[in-house]
Amino acid sequence: MGVEPVVTLDGLTVRYGKLTAVDDLSLEVPKGGVFALLGRNGSGKSSTVRCLLGQQRPTAGRSTILGFDSWKKRRRAMERVGVVPENPDVPPDTTANRVEKFMARVTPFWRSANYFDRLDSLEVPRNVHFGRLSKGQQRQLALALALAGSPRLLVLDDPTLGLDAVARRKLYEELVGELADRGTTVFLTTHDLAGVEAIADRVGVIRGGSLLVDEKLDVLKARFCRVIWAATDTVPRERIDAGLQHLGVVGGNVAAGANEAVVQKFSEFGFDRFRQEARVEVMRVDSLSLEEIFIVLCGTEPGGQS
């Protein structure tokens, strides 16, 4: 028998009147590692996260955490979940010490030592009002709150929003350390594609409420490439276009006169067929970054309801 996934989204659908924000979305997040859900503003990420956390009832389908329905059994589902929201919801006139006293009373599995040790290691002051902390310190405090109960799932909603490069790197380093120490599963949304590329094991890409991609990051990067060949006037364009189809050229035929193309089904077999059928000299094959792949998949997506 396989291990039950930590997160399951099964046919998740969210509608606002006639607008469908999330359309029959299904995926599973296995135990351990980092899953990153990516999408432009208005793609449906926020609605998905709200349903996952039991904050919103889906129009159809369901989400589960550790086997518990997020909406019907929210209390049980959230017992071993830590959350860092897009905008930390700590009252601006309270302090880290006062927050701890409240959380210790209402949070299952709370460990005050975990909380204070993390604050001290990050040099986040205990008695300064939250509203007077830097954005980096506010994020670190929110992360300390989320991790104090040794959660089995950590949900991060755009955790580096508003942080400078140093603060972003520090947060990701803390996150990687947490994974190594405790095996916590992480589900995150982010616009920081360069940062998440260094830590994510698996990614999902959502566009217009529909899931385009759900696969391991290394597999995704292996199949998306830019193929560049020597310019030629002797090979009919139809032959080049036909050869590219074996590699899954993105966006249909390449513009007339171009001598490069982005492909999404790169393989050695398809590459050999392209060279044979197109009869061109291939200069090189370049890998794409996660950000470049994301732009290829979502660059033309219109905005909408989140």
Alpha-carbon distance of 171 to 128, in angstroms, equals: 20
The reply to whether 208 falls in a domain is yes
pLDDT digits (tens, 9 = 90+) for 146-160: 989 889 999 999 888
Residues 119 and 205 both lie in one domain: yes
Residues 113 and 58 both lie in one domain: yes
Count of the separate structural domains present in the chain: 2
Supply the pLDDT for residue 180.
57
The reply to whether 304 falls in a domain is no
Confidence category of residue 304, pLDDT binned at 50, 70, 90: very low
Which CATH number belongs to the domain containing residue 192 in this structure?
Answer: 3.40.50.300
Confidence category of residue 1, pLDDT binned at 50, 70, 90: very low
Residues 197 and 233 both lie in one domain: no
What pTM was computed for the model? 0.88
Residues 173 and 267 both lie in one domain: no
Instruction: Name the DSSP class of 130.
Output: G
Residues 237 and 131 both lie in one domain: no
Residues 264 and 150 both lie in one domain: no
Domain interval for residue 34: 7-216
Residues 262 and 177 both lie in one domain: no
Percent of the chain with pLDDT over 70: 92
Residues 64 and 185 both lie in one domain: yes
Give the residue with greater pLDDT, 252 vs 97: 97
Report whether 198 contacts 172 (CB < 8 A): yes
Residues 67 and 45 both lie in one domain: yes
Both structure tokens of 218: 């290394």
Name which of 264, 221, 270, 220 is nearest 242 in CA terms: 270
pLDDT digits (tens, 9 = 90+) for 15-65: 999 999 999 999 999 998 899 999 999 999 999 999 999 999 999 999 999
